[in-house]
Amino acid sequence: MTTTHSDALNRVIAVSCFVFQAILNSPTFATKSQDYDKVSEWIGNGLLISRGQKWFSHRKVITPGFHFKILENFVPVFNRQAEAFCAKMERLTERSTAGAAINIFPELKLLTLGIICETAMGVGMDGGGKVDDTQQAYYTQIVEELSSILYWRMFNVFVNIDALFRLTRTSKRFDELVKKSWNFTLNMIDKRRKIHQQEEEEKKLHATVERDEEETFGKRKRALLDTLLEARIDGKPLTDEEIREEVDTFTFAGHDTTASAMTFILYNVAKHPAVQERIYQEIVDEIGADFGELTLSSLNNLHYMELAIKESLRLFPPVPVIARIATGNTQLLSEPITRGTSVAIDIFTMHHNEDYFPHAERFDPERFESTRDKQSFNPYTYIPFSAGSRNCIGQKFAQYELKTTLVKLLQRFQIRLADANFVPTLKAEIVLKPAEGLPLKFIRREI
């Protein structure tokens, strides 16, 4: 089996799980490749892109923001947002002509953006205002266009060079879009900062209020942005730029990747009605057919749903390729790698490898049932959230968000493809997407 192959741009493309494992656990490959430098012009050097001590200290600061207790406080938001989304699907279905389909992908981007704004950024929490649908749609369009420009730059040898890119009209458009994106996130930061300052003043007036564990994990709803505003690194608060970079990172990554994952999950359950019905029956058995509040505990009981989500993430990993750079001369399975070489980790190809996933193109949730042969199963054959020290910090957040949304949708609807023979054309920019969207029909369940 091929382990790596090189291209003309001093890049190595890794397609072996053993190479994946070596890269993702090696300090020599702890740095994201120069391919991400173009992205940093937009979202800055937040957790996704930062290197060295900055990455380490920021990761340490941000990790408590995804503590189990905090995730538990986010589930009511997942519930409420998913309920509103279902109501919206019902309205769109009722207003449409008989049998008309809904392109679900742009709708899911609005849903996941609303969730990340409320939970991670605190907009909508504790009286923190909200981001309306018009603003959300505007931001998702900005992200779509920025992603397309960045993808074009990464794989076009001429505009990959900054000096040449700056000669194009697209360069001016890119700068305009970046400013608009920053304005969106700066608005959220400003709203949350004002609330945070009010709370700090109230604390001074009520000094006897118990803090520590209750304040961090108790009744008060905390957002990731609160963690950033309160953080101290070497005794110093984060700068305004550092806070904006992390907010830009989480706003982009926290909605676009999850919308991609949810879109392909709905594609798979719509394409496979038997799987959809089995998931629905599990929901009825474990939770019930009514529309009550979900909890982490009830979501954890949905075992078959989890298998179906894992299988969908195998077939359609939200980030199909990631890349690292060698910061020193080294070897990968005895193959010499020189300092400065960019190594692309081709997650999509690995997830479709017949050696590890027989009938790899088949949607088969049960292939993950106890991984059948655990001793020979290499965990680096399946890495939809990356792996190693730089794995996705929000993966549990995303998994509970996906589960909640799927529960709420299937409690209300049977979901069908508008065209039973539809196969999505894949567009792999920064995030894997269906190029023409995903037309679905939502049929109200008779309960």
Place of tokens 């505003």: 229
The 3-state DSSP class for residue 440 equals: strand
Within a 13 Å sphere around the CA of 136, how many CA atoms are in the beta-carbon half? 20
Find how far residue 270's CA is from the centre of its chain.
Answer: 22
Alpha helices in 48-128, H assignment, sequence order = 52-62, 68-95, 104-119
CA distance 419 to 435: 16
Q: Which residues pair with 344 in a beta bridge?
A: 13, 323
Helix, strand, coil tally for the chain in percent (to 5):
60, 10, 30
- Whether pLDDT at 319 is above 90: yes
Residue 1's pLDDT is what? 33
H or E stretch covering 443: strand 439-444
Domain that holds residue 135: 11-203+220-439
Q: CATH no. for residue 419?
A: 1.10.630.10
Per-residue pLDDT band for 94 (boundaries 50, 70, 90) equals: confident
- Does residue 392 have a known ligand-binding role? yes
Residue 296: per-residue pLDDT: 94
Return the top range by mean pLDDT from 91-95, 100-104, 186-190, 360-364.
Answer: 360-364
What tens digit of pLDDT does each residue of 162-174 get? 999 999 999 999 9
- In the predicted structure, residue 240 carries a pLDDT above the cut 90: yes
Question: Does the residue 447 lie in any domain?
Answer: no
| Cα–Cα distance for residue pair 56/60, rounded to 1 Å | 6
The answer as to whether 212 is a domain residue is no
pLDDT at residue 188 is higher than 70? yes
Please check whether residue 397 lies inside any domain of the structure: yes
Question: Can you tell me the mean pLDDT for 257-277?
Answer: 98
Distance, in Å, from the CA atom of 185 to the CA atom of 213, rounded to the nearest integer, reads: 29
4 forms bridges with which residues in the sheet? 14
Number of domains in the chain: 1
Name the amino acid, one letter, at 312.
S
Q: Which residue has the tokens 């009938």?
A: 359
Q: Name every residue whose Cβ is closer than 8 Å to that of residue 190 and which is 6 or more positions away in sequence.
A: none
Tokens 């991984």, residue? 371
Q: How confident is the model at residue 370 (pLDDT cuts 50, 70, 90)?
A: low
| Pick from 198, 254, 206: nearest CA to 226 | 198
Q: What is the pTM of this model?
A: 0.91
70 Cβ neighbours under 8 A, 6+ residues apart: 64, 217, 222
- CA separation for the pair 235, 75 (Å, rounded): 33
Q: Is position 346 within any domain?
A: yes
Residue 3 maps to a domain: no
Q: Which has more pLDDT, 222 or 29? A: 29
**What is the secondary structure of 7-67 as a DSSP string?**
-TTSEEEE--HHHHHHHHT-GGG-EEPGGGHHHHHHH-SSTTT--HHHHHHHHHHHGGGG-
- CB-based contacts of 299: which residues, under 8 Å, 6+ apart? 75, 400, 403, 404, 407
Of 37, 3, 35, which Cα lies nearest the Cα of 20?
3
* DSSP H helical ranges for 206-272: 212-217, 224-230, 240-271
Above 90 in pLDDT, residue 197?
Answer: no
What is the tens place of the pLDDT at every residue in 101-159?
999 999 999 999 999 999 988 876 444 456 677 889 999 999 999 999 999 998 888 99
**pLDDT in the model for residue 333:** 86
Q: How far apart are CA 401 and CA 75, in angstroms?
A: 8
Residue 209, both tokens: 């209020």
Q: Is residue 52 part of a domain?
A: yes
**Residue 238 dihedral angles phi and psi, to the nearest 5°:** -65, 145
Report yes or no on 179 lying in a domain.
Answer: yes
